[in-house]
Each structure stands twice: as C-alpha cells, then as structure tokens.
Amino acid sequence: MGLSTDTLYNARRSAITRASDDYYPKIPTTQSLHIAAVAFNSIFLGEVVVPDWDMFYSLHSAAEFHAVARAVGGCGVYVSDKPGQHDFEILRRLVLPDGSVLRAKYPGRPSRDCLFNDPVMDGESLLKIWNLNKVTGVIGVFNCQGAGSWPCLDNPVQKDVSPKLSGQVSPADIEYFEEVAPTPWTGDCAVFSFKAGKIHLLHHITEYSYI
C-alpha cells in the first residue's frame, strides 16, 4: 500500500505510511499473511517512516491475532468496528484505563533467525516480532502457517502444516536490549508469558522452548 516509489519520495510530508495491503476481514487466508507482510516490510520502512499496520475488527475470529501484532508493532492501534460490534475484552488489553496506548519504542520487525525463513508457507517456521518499551523487551511469536500464500508466486501451494508448531525464543532475539537492561547486566532475564500467565527465569540469554 505505501511501498511505491512516489510514497517514499514524499515521506518528508508525512511521518506515517501503510506497510501492508488492506485489511480484509472477510478473507480468512489474508489474516496471517497480513501480519507477516507488515513485519517484513517494516524492516525497510521502519528506517524511513512510522509503519502503519492498518486497522482491524475487534470482533472477529482473528482479532486477538491482530491485536497482539499491533501491541508489539510500535504502530498506531485503531479498529474499524461497526457500531455496537466490539470485543471490549480485547480492546481493554491494548490500552490503559484512561484510553492511552502503550506504544512500543520501535517499528516491530522479525527477529534475525526469521529473516531468511518463510513464516507463511514453509510449514515449519514461526514468526517472531521484537520490540522494546521504556523498561523491557517485548517479543511476539506468531504461527502464520497454513492459511494464505504470498501473492504473485508461480506455485502458491503450501506444504502440509500441523496446527501446532514448536520453537525457541530468547531475550537474545530482541535487538538493542542493552538500552533497557540494568548496568551492570549479567544476561539473566525474567520472561513473562502473556498467554500462559507465567514468569520464567532465563540465565545468560538462554532459550525458552514453546509450542
């Protein structure tokens, strides 16, 4: 959407541009593809502008998936709900009681070990999107496999994929961690898993396995 040469030439007129195609709530195959696309596009756009990851419906089968991506995306968070059709449980998790948004510090981008994998079509790779806030690192892990395919491919056939994938995540996946780490820092980290509601202590940037 905002990747044309004309858009980039006019970046001095706006600090924000779209990093994705439109959000298509009625097309299930585009939901996970949308998140993967904006994360990878933000590698480049994030050096020039503030990437906009587009709106989403809070009352939708993929709403939580989109909401988590916006939470780590460092982008604006906004919804296009129809009047009276809202999931306030999801919306409340994205904002403070006064309605302000805890926006992350940088544009959300894939971790280094994801850069040359295909988190949409190879049937095995997960997508990790990292960011920072003022006091901690943030990383989101997404299973984007098995739903859609990249456009303009000669052979858009996906490999068979299990609904559950496993992998590792580490504080080392988060760039610039030294900006928020205490001094001196031993490399130990307390990792809070939002979905599980648990805290894990990782020594010296070790990895945490997840499914």
pLDDT of 166 > 70? The answer is: yes
Q: What is the CA radius of gyration of the chain?
A: 17
Please state the domain extents for the chain: 5-210
Is there a contact between 169 and 141 (Cβ–Cβ < 8 Å)? yes
Average pLDDT score, the chain:
87
This prediction has a pTM of 0.89
The angle at the Cα of 149, spanning 8 to 70, to the nearest 5 degrees, equals 55
- Furthest C-alpha separation in the chain: 52
Amino acid at 20: S
What DSSP element (H or E) covers 193? strand 189-193
Is there a contact between 42 and 109 (Cβ–Cβ < 8 Å)? yes
Q: How, if at all, do strands 208-210 and 167-169 pair? A: antiparallel
pLDDT of 211 > 60? The answer is: no
Q: Cis (ω within 30 of 0) for the bond into 83?
A: no
Poorest-confidence range of 53-57, 80-84, 109-113, 182-186?
182-186
Tell me: the pLDDT tens digits for 66-118? 999 999 999 989 999 999 999 999 999 998 888 888 889 999 999 999 999 99
Residue 81 confidence (pLDDT): 95
Task: Kindly tell me the sign of the dihedral angle through the C-alpha atoms of 128, 109, 54, 37.
Answer: negative
Smallest CA-to-CA distance from 130 within 169, 165, 181, 98 is with: 169
3-state secondary structure of 165: coil
Tell me: the pLDDT tens digits for 6-31? 877 777 777 888 898 899 999 988 99
Report the share of the chain in percent with pLDDT over 70. Answer: 91
3-state secondary structure of 66: helix
pLDDT of 154 > 60? The answer is: yes
Q: Could you give the count of Cα atoms lying within 13 Å of 7 in the half-sphere of its Cβ?
A: 14
